A and B are shown apart, each in its own frame.
Chain A
């Protein structure tokens, strides 16, 4: 092989790769690639290119697209190349289209015909190439075009073709299950294929099918067990062995299928016990693949109906995994432990030390897996340790996705198992502080409700203690920079409600803090709104308590600023604050009762308090109220009645206001009128007269009312409750337009007036509203767990819980807290036998320069650049290229060397002796290089140390 020069590619391609390799920045690389694209565009459009040139251009296109640049201008050439007779070109064409096109691309239709033809080819390699393309390119629409042929190929004499046909059918099933649903029996049939490879390929679609519908494949349990038995007993040809294991990949697939079939099915599971036991006993746990099979066995044992003996050996295997040096095995061990503890939870305790080790491991993957495990085994007795660990880890990572996941897990566990209120609040504070913007706002509301309601017990001192500690912690935190918005909202709310409740802090202190927070987060309207409402609460509590309120100057300036805010919500709150401060103590106490946020606000849906007002209005001659459902019939009549004299007015308004918002309604009348014009009716003017006003009036009435609705919606979203929003629009549609406008506007104003009161409660209402919805959830979250756990925390003797289970877990807790010492051991362990990564290649780069230098002796400029570029120093590209063109054969090949790895350089150099000036020298170097660099005995890095070793 090495006798062939240039890697079978043209010099241009070599140069391209070389210059891209030497590019010092992404921008430079992009420039090179864009230049290449221009070249290719020009070349491809030239009329007379040979097919083999075209093939090369296609390869270059693939390369360009792999680097992230658009090569769509050449797709058509790839499609054309699939039509070629030559296998080489055809395969290249297929490769290009499978990489370029997705299955819905327009060009696919041009390939289907070729694929059909190729599937019929006598040459099985052509058939295979076509099947490859089928797997990638055929979509739901084109499946019928090739399906009969693919089915036919299931009986092809070559097993390679049969295998691929099975896969293609599987692919069709994934794309469009309906299209091949009548062919599923074929998969069963292929399971009995003479060739084990075809049988193995059939396991893939069967696995998918069984995942979806277990029950229709229960009859195959016996067959699968039999196959597995034959495989395990080495009945398959030797060629299926891998590292002394009999067909391990087939075993794994079978075990996966069996674990699906045996899940929750005692009868099927019993058929598997013997073979599972055999495999686990026989498996070679020294090799990687042996462990893969063992792991799959554990998964299977944990999934099927439990068998104590198998579970025991599974546990043994897990402990072997966990005790091993390999991180891969530890990872699988932790994963398997997570499966096993679902069946026998007591097993966790044996492995607590190993688990803690994994938690301290520098390997992030292992750590995450361990957190998954801990999450699964959290109990009220160990929740503190686990959540603390999780939070520490959460703080340490930057990965947004995982941070969110772990934060929500912390919240979930804390809500589920919190041992004490104090702990819960502290935990939530931490979560909010570090990932506040990532957690659901519901969590914040839950926290506020918890602080307001306590833990649902009638122990007021405990509740007020809880609140005081919350206030204290929040006063400490509030000054910190960069707090998440959600957290600040919670802080403001709690400080407003309870900041002055225990008399420890003065109102001016709390209000000062709140003002600072509002100022520090001046861009966040929600936080400011919470802060102002909190200020209002504190002032009104002060007034209600009979103390004189002195507004701090910063508060005053804040309120003044908010009075002019562009946010109507903030304005509203500021005005309310101003108004409340001027009221007397009695009024304020009614508006803002102390600690009343948990009291349900009764909503009088009948609006009985308005009865007197309604009565009065009726007496004065107002129209009585007509319910909405009775009104619908009337509205048409009123429209008709009013249309004659009002249509003109409304048409005017309509033109002025509605046109930009509703492009469709204005068209309706014009279409109608034009159609009227087209109809040859004797008196067109009459028709037009009758219809046009009517339609315009109708459209006006529709759009008019919807316009009113829109406006009111806007108002109500800000100030009102949904109860009101439904009434106002309905009235508007009931009345005639003139009165309609008047009344609705009036109503909207009056409703906002009546809302003023409500808005002041807005933030408080939040709580009771949610609480009615989710009281049950909260009870399940906090009620049960907290009762039992609180006793523990009060007695301070969590460990002494008689439950053996709890004791075990708290042991774990102890271990975890003292595990810092234990953790030192794994980190200081010598590196396992995985391949060394960067280090050897670094050390070897120096000697590798030498032969290179010798070769390059004549080419000074090139040598310089290559040296420099390998050292990462910026050098203008020009001389390099110049030199390349100056000396085509030598520099072109040898400068390629600058960038690839040392052994690659040597191999590469060695592989083209014919092109160099001195063949003898090259051959000697080749031998030397192969000894030093490429064979495993040398000190240089080589690709296959572990392979050959």
Chain B
């Protein structure tokens, strides 16, 4: 089972935090800080895996990857395969890239609701639901369309940027 997905920038600022088992806010912050410390201390050209049993308990591992200024982090237990998780992360970022057309950190910051939507299509309740980025993008676009349609009925002309993107 996947325990959590964290996206943070290279200065430790969380950009997306999702735990599939509820963690209270303070605990979340503590985990983010500890993970950031671990990731900072990792040299270049080393493996993408870290053992985090001291933070999450027996046999819990973490896969991370940096994309420009962002760390993508998946935390999961022994029922998942490390390399597969790494690829899932890749697929996730691919989907982000397709949805935001050349995604950058600011896209993730300002549209984290949309990033959540995308993530929810990949992972549901800690289990991998979908592994094809095109499928996810299709669904997400459908959702956006529906949202926009619903929005246009409501007519809120004063706020032009509301449709989300």
Contact = CB atoms under 8 A, between A and B. Distances in A.
Contact of A295 (B25, B81, B113, B151): B81
A254 to B, nearest CB: 12
Nearest to A204: B127
Given A6-B161, A399-B54, A943-B67, A291 B154 contact: no
A59 interface: yes
Interface of B: 10, 13-14, 16-18, 20, 22, 24-26, 28-29, 41-51, 53-54, 65-70, 79, 81-84, 86-88, 90-91, 93-94, 97, 100-107, 109-113, 116-117, 120, 124-125, 127-132, 134-135, 139, 142-143, 146-148, 150-151, 154, 156, 159-165
A907 B104 contact: yes
Contacts of B109: 7, 17, 900
Interface string A61-72: 011011111100
Contacts of A163: 129-130
A17 B135 CA distance: 31
Nearest to B17: A66
Given A201-B127, A900-B104, A328 B84 contact: no
A623 to B, nearest CB: 60
B113 A123 contact: no
Given A168-B125, A368-B51, A240 B132 contact: yes
B102 A7 contact: no
B49 A934 contact: no
Contacts of A164: 124, 129
Contacts of A123: 146
Contacts of A63: 112
Interface in A703-758: none
A296 interface: yes
A836 B83 contact: no
A136 B70 CA distance: 26
A901 B81 contact: no
A289 B81 CA distance: 10
Top 3 A-B residue pairs of the complex, sorted by shortest distance between their CB atoms = A401-B54, A292-B83, A7-B110
Contacts of B46: 327, 361-366
A1 interface: yes
25 contacts: A7-B109, A17-B110, A21-B13, A52-B154, A68-B25, A70-B25, A86-B150, A86-B151, A87-B147, A91-B117, A101-B22, A167-B124, A208-B79, A239-B134, A239-B135, A249-B128, A252-B84, A332-B83, A365-B46, A365-B47, A841-B69, A900-B69, A900-B105, A907-B107, A943-B97
Given A331-B82, A837-B44, A88 B164 contact: yes
B116 A95 contact: yes
Which of B41, B100, B148 counts the most chain A CB atoms within 10 A? B100
A92 B45 contact: no
B124 A132 contact: yes
Contact of A68 (B26, B44, B143, B162): B26
A901 B68 CA distance: 8
A255 B123 CA distance: 20
Contacts of A363: 42-43, 46-47
A52 B156 contact: yes
Interface string A889-907: 0000000100011011001
Nearest to B103: A943
Contacts of A86: 147, 150-151, 154
Contacts of B42: 363-364
A947 B102 contact: no
A947 B150 contact: no
Question: Which of B84, B97, B163 counts the most A-chain CB atoms under 10 A from its CB?
Answer: B84
Contacts of B94: 944, 947
Given A1-B101, A87-B150, A289-B83, 13 more contacts: A7-B165, A21-B13, A65-B25, A66-B112, A87-B147, A164-B124, A249-B128, A252-B84, A288-B86, A330-B47, A363-B47, A401-B54, A835-B65
A137 B135 CA distance: 26
Contact of B107 (A7, A208, A242, A835): A7
Contacts of B93: 943-944, 947
B130 to A, nearest CB: 7
Contacts of B84: 248-249, 252, 289, 292, 296
A690 B53 CA distance: 65
B142 A328 contact: no
A125 B54 contact: no
A577 B13 CA distance: 62
A95 B16 CA distance: 13
A14 interface: yes
A901 B69 CA distance: 6
B14 A66 contact: yes
Contact of A903 (B66, B83, B104, B161): B104
Contacts of A369: 51
Of the listed residues B41, B88, B102, the one surrounded by the most CB atoms of chain A closer than 10 A to its CB is B102
A944 B89 CA distance: 12
Interface string A576-612: 0000000000000000000000000000000000000
A99 B4 CA distance: 12
Contact of A242 (B44, B70, B91, B101): B91
A13 interface: yes
B110 A9 contact: yes
B106 A900 contact: yes
A256 interface: yes
B156 to A, nearest CB: 5
B105 to A, nearest CB: 5
Interface in A25-62: 50-52, 59, 62
Nearest to B55: A401
Contacts of B24: 102
A908 B50 CA distance: 33
Contacts of B154: 51-52, 86
Nearest to A290: B83
Q: Which of B69, B86, B112, B151 has the most CB of A within 10 A?
A: B69
Nearest to B62: A365
A665 interface: no
A908 B87 contact: no
B97 A944 contact: yes
A800 interface: no
Nearest to B71: A837
A826 B25 CA distance: 42
B56 to A, nearest CB: 11
A8 B161 contact: yes
A836 B90 CA distance: 16
Contacts of B130: 163, 197
A101 B22 CA distance: 8
A832 interface: yes
B131 A201 contact: no
A65 B26 CA distance: 10
Q: Which of A99, A836, A837 gathers most chain B CB within 10 Å? A: A837
A136 B86 CA distance: 24
B120 A328 contact: no
B128 A69 contact: no
Given A68-B28, A160-B139, A903-B68, A171 B125 contact: yes
Contacts of A92: 113
Contacts of B69: 841, 900-901, 904
Contacts of B50: 364-365
A593 B3 CA distance: 61
Contacts of B100: 1
